[in-house]
Amino acid sequence: QSALTQPASVSGSPGQSITISCTATSSDVVSHNLISWYQQHPGKAPKVMIYDVIKRPSGVSNRFSGSKSGNTASLTISGLQAEDEADYYCCSNAGSGIWVFGGGTKLTV
Amino acid sequence: QVQLQESGPGLVKPSETLSLTCSVSGGSISGYYWSWIRQPPGKGLEWIGYIFYSGSSNSNPSLKSRVTISLDTSTNQFSLNLRSLTGADTAVYYCARYYCSTDGTCHYFDYWGQGILVTVSS
């Protein structure tokens, strides 16, 4: 069982906003605020969309945003587009050189 | 542009050892942290471990007893050895680079290989 829990699936219509949660079983897992989010299309390698909870790498659309409250990090996608349909994974640098991924969330647009 | 490419066998027998290599091009392996991540068919991502160019490494506690990660700066490659394979080790194996700040804090995986499917079966 992953130390980071995500919903198995979420869905939304084009133009709408959705939020994917990522809840840690222990505060230690997310206490460093080194949480990142990855988008993965079928048959492709993951691509980072958010890092350090709220930061966007260069080139990532500002429709993607991140936040955190307590032990739960969240990824929000606004103005949903068909191309956003993918699997999304949260990931945390849990300290002591250990990294963990969430179980993944399938987004259907 | 940094590129990573995994190579190794696509089929390995149970109880044997898997050896994979990640070749890095378009940049030096020195100065960076490198990682292996895997994804069983239809399932989520699992972090396997990392190695720093200096040779220091760490791995997932659930795999630690079976994993060795090594690095060769002369060939710009790093490798994964996973011992005592079972069907549960069937997965797409990715190599990836960490983006780390100058204080040594690593933030995310910025470059990924395309992945290699490894099937464990007799």
CA-nearest of A63, A71, A8, A10 to A35 is A71
Write phi, then psi, for A43 (nearest 5 degrees).
Answer: 75, 5
pLDDT digits (tens, 9 = 90+) for B14-27: 999 999 999 999 99
Q: Are B10 and B83 in contact (CB under 8 A)?
A: no
Residue A2 has what pLDDT?
A: 66
CB contact under 8 A, A52 and B114: no
Q: State the average pLDDT over residues A16-27.
A: 92
pLDDT digits (tens, 9 = 90+) for A36-62: 999 999 999 999 999 999 999 999 999
CB contact under 8 A, A52 and B107: yes
Residue B33 has what pLDDT?
A: 94
User: Given the DSSP bridges, would you call strands A72-77 and A64-69 parallel, antiparallel or unpaired?
Assistant: antiparallel
Q: State the average pLDDT over residues A59-80.
A: 96
- B111 touching A, CB under 8 A? no
Buried b (16+ CB within 10 A) or exposed e, A87-99: bbbbbbbbeeebb
Residue A1 has what pLDDT?
A: 58
